[in-house]
Structure 1
Amino acid sequence: MATRRAFSEESLREILLSLPVKSLLRFKCVCKNWGSLINNPSFTIDHLNLSKKKKPPQHLIYDYGAADDAPTVTLVSDKGIDEQNFQRLGDNITNLLGSIDGVFFIERQIDNAILCTLWNPANREVRHLPATTISFEYFKCDRHLVFGLDPMTKDYKVVYYTHRDEYAAIYSCSRDSWKIFKHNLDVHQNPSMCERNFYNTVDYLNGSYYWLMNNNCRILSFDFGNEVFVEMEGPPRAHEDYNWSANLMLLGDSVGILNFVDGFVHDVWVMIQPGVWNKLLTIHLTAHTKSFYDNSFILVTKSSRLISYNVRTNKTRLFEYRHTGLKSNPEHGGCGVYYYKESLVTIKRQGNSELHLSHCLTKMVNIY
């Protein structure tokens, strides 16, 4: 009688790495060995990297104006709707930032208070941020509340500042606390110098958050590792009095700018290195731009459907998902479109006897 041979640990690991997070969360309970393997920080890193390389792109649609009986979150790809069974995170959500390695930052306004939360949709973890001594004044037009990751320590951080104040606040997930610091910007030089990007998904890249400055098209960034602001030159002006009408975007691993020229004509600029720019191409966009990812625009058609356009390959893909809210900005109760890769990254608070995930991942980074 033939006996069944068990998979080797290496083969089992390869099989598990190819599975979605929902399946892995169930398989953690199969046996102690499987649970230990899936919970290992190196498995989390490898699963995320494999997801980025091999799995098709997905987009998380958040409906800011959803009725109580309608789903607020839908996961879609160019093949159709992937999932709508997400936890409902409550009402009064005013801002959703991310995702960064599968994690989102949520801002919620309750009466006059601002509540901040981190959220991983894949493993359904939610982490509420503690209060800070600095006031998050929601109606300030020059306020910025941004979300990023220190690439060396794998520590999620949130930064709040306004152009009128010389002090800013930064939250560190590993410390689980806010720190007030005096930033290095000249707050009196230009009190309203940064544009808020309504796309919300394209501002973070490789450890820095980026803003586009008004009119002169300079770039301001925040380095999450060193916790400092950095200013750099934008693309050259056509003439001295030229005012830009532009939005920040990402093209692969580069910061880009989409500048309105005339009618449906737009120029696409790419930053080759800090302050050095190259005009990549001129394109005609007849549809409303909703978001960006990789080398693609996410546009909304007249029939309220999403379509992606890759500027490198000149190829388009039509999504089967349709929603009238796609034509409106999130701040007006419309839908936000966020590029998304699911992950096993945990954001739960750990006890004193346990290492925080970011510390574990730091060790893995140093090893590799």
Structure 2
Amino acid sequence: MATRRAFSEESLREILLSLLVKSLLRFKCVCKNWGNLINNPSFTIDHLNLSKKKKPPQHLIYDYGAANDAPTVTLVSDKGIDEQNFQRLGDNITNLLGSIDGVFFLERQIGNDILCALWNPANREVRHLPAAAISFESFAVGRHLVFGLEPMTKDYKVLYYNQIEEYAAIYSCSRDSWKIFEHNTDVHQNSMMCKKSFYNTADYLNGSYYWLLKEKTDKCRILSFDFGNELFVKMEGPPRGHEDYSWSTDLILLGDSVGILNFVEGFVKDVWVMIQPGVWNKLLTIHLTTPTKSFYDNSFILVTKSSRLVSYNVRTNKTKLFEFRHPGLKSFPECGGCGVYYYKESLVTIKRKGNSELHLSRCLTKMVNKY
């Protein structure tokens, strides 16, 4: 009689790496060996990297105007709706940012209070942020509340910045507290306006958050915040030709580059990419006849007249129509419509750490620094 041979640990690891997070969360309870393997920080990194490389892109649709009996969150790809069920996050969500390695930042207003949290939809973890010793007034002029990651230490951070005020505040997951610091961006004093993107997913890249600076002289600059050094930096925008940079100019991300989508006339827009700080290249001129919802990789996510999503890759000139339809896609989140967020599920944990979890976090930091 033939005997069964157990999988080697290497073979088992390869099989588990190919599975969805919801399956891995169940398999953690099968036996101690499987649980230790899945909880290993190196497994989390490899699973996320594999997801980025091999699994098709997904988009999380958040319906800011959803009725009480309607789902607020839907996960879609160009193949249709993913059946994964997300927890309801409740009403009064005014801001959703991300995702960064599968983690979102969300802001909720309850009465006069503003509550902030981090959220990983895949493992259903929510981490509520402590209150800060600074007011986050929702409708304050020049207010920006943004989300980012320090890549070397994998420390998620939230920045509150008001271009009119002298001080800013930053929250760090590793510290689990807010820090108030003085900044010297001089944006308001120099008659510049720090423009927030409509897209909410088009601002963070490789450890920095970016804003478009619009000056009264129609000059265009970029302001960035480095989450590692916790410093602001200003850079020159594209050279101005015969056309001015209007308020319809938007900051975008294309691949690993910061870009600018500049209105020319009618439906004609120029796409610029920054090849190094302050150095720009005009990539192409395109005709966009439908509203843009977000960006991922080298693709624009657009909305058709029939309220469906379509992706357009500017480098390959290929389009893909999503098998998903929602009337709220035609409106921006600020108007009670739908936000469209590029999403890759991950095992990343955002729970507050006990002693054993702190040890795992330090191991993760050492591994990231090593590679």
- The TM tier, using the shorter chain, reads over 0.9
Q: Is the CA contact (8 Å cut-off) linking 2:243 and 2:264 kept in structure 1?
A: no
Give matches, 1:63-212, under 5 Å: 63-83=63-83, 85-190=85-190, 193-212=193-212
Equivalent residue of 1:355, what SS?
helix
Q: CA deviation at 1:198?
A: 1.3
Mapped partners of 2:290, 2:187: distance in 1 = 37
What's the CA shift string for 1:149-186, capped at 9, x where partnerless? 00111100000010111100000001100000011312
Aligned to 1:252: 255
Does 2:324 correspond to 1:311? Answer: no
Q: CA deviation at 1:66?
A: 0.5
Q: Is the CA contact (8 Å cut-off) linking 1:142 and 1:192 kept in structure 2?
A: no
Aligned to 1:220: 223
Aligned to 1:20: 20
Aligned to 1:8: 8
Does 2:269 correspond to 1:270? Answer: no
The Cα RMSD (Å) is 1.4
What's the CA shift string for 1:93-116, capped at 9, x where partnerless? 000000000000000011111100
Aligned pair in 2 of structure 1 residues 18, 139: CA closer, same or farther (>3 Å)?
Answer: same
Equivalent residue of 1:106, what SS?
strand
Mapped partners of 1:355, 1:291: distance in 2 = 35
Mapped partners of 1:188, 1:91: distance in 2 = 34
Q: CA deviation at 1:237?
A: 0.8
Aligned to 1:283: 286
Mapped partners of 2:296, 2:357: distance in 1 = 36
Equivalent residue of 2:220, what SS?
coil
How many residues were matched structurally? Answer: 368
Q: Is the CA contact (8 Å cut-off) linking 1:71 and 1:84 kept in structure 2?
A: no
Q: Which amino acid aligns with 2:82?
A: D
Mapped partners of 2:350, 2:282: distance in 1 = 40
Equivalent residue of 1:361, what SS?
helix
Equivalent residue of 2:127, what SS?
strand
Q: Is the CA contact (8 Å cut-off) linking 1:208 and 1:222 kept in structure 2?
A: yes
Q: Is the CA contact (8 Å cut-off) linking 2:146 and 2:159 kept in structure 1?
A: yes
Aligned pair in 2 of structure 1 residues 254, 362: CA closer, same or farther (>3 Å)?
Answer: same
Mapped partners of 2:192, 2:111: distance in 1 = 26
What's the CA shift string for 1:290-322, capped at 9, x where partnerless? 111100000000000000000000000000100
Q: CA deviation at 1:191?
A: 6.1
Mapped partners of 1:357, 1:157: distance in 2 = 19
Match of 1:360 among 350, 363, 369: 363
Gaps spanning 5+ residues in structure 2: where?
Answer: none
Equivalent residue of 2:366, what SS?
helix
Aligned to 1:321: 324
Q: CA deviation at 1:202?
A: 1.2
Mapped partners of 2:356, 2:343: distance in 1 = 32
Equivalent residue of 1:148, what SS?
strand
Q: Which amino acid aligns with 1:151?
A: P
Match of 2:346 among 339, 343, 346: 343
Aligned pair in 2 of structure 1 residues 358, 234: CA closer, same or farther (>3 Å)?
Answer: farther
Identity %: 86
Gaps spanning 5+ residues in structure 1: where?
Answer: none
Mapped partners of 2:32, 2:223: distance in 1 = 48
Give matches, 1:52-71, under 5 Å: 52-71=52-71
The farther-off stretch of 242-251 and 341-350 is 242-251
Equivalent residue of 1:218, what SS?
strand
Q: Which amino acid aligns with 2:15?
A: I
TM-score, scaled to structure 2: 0.97
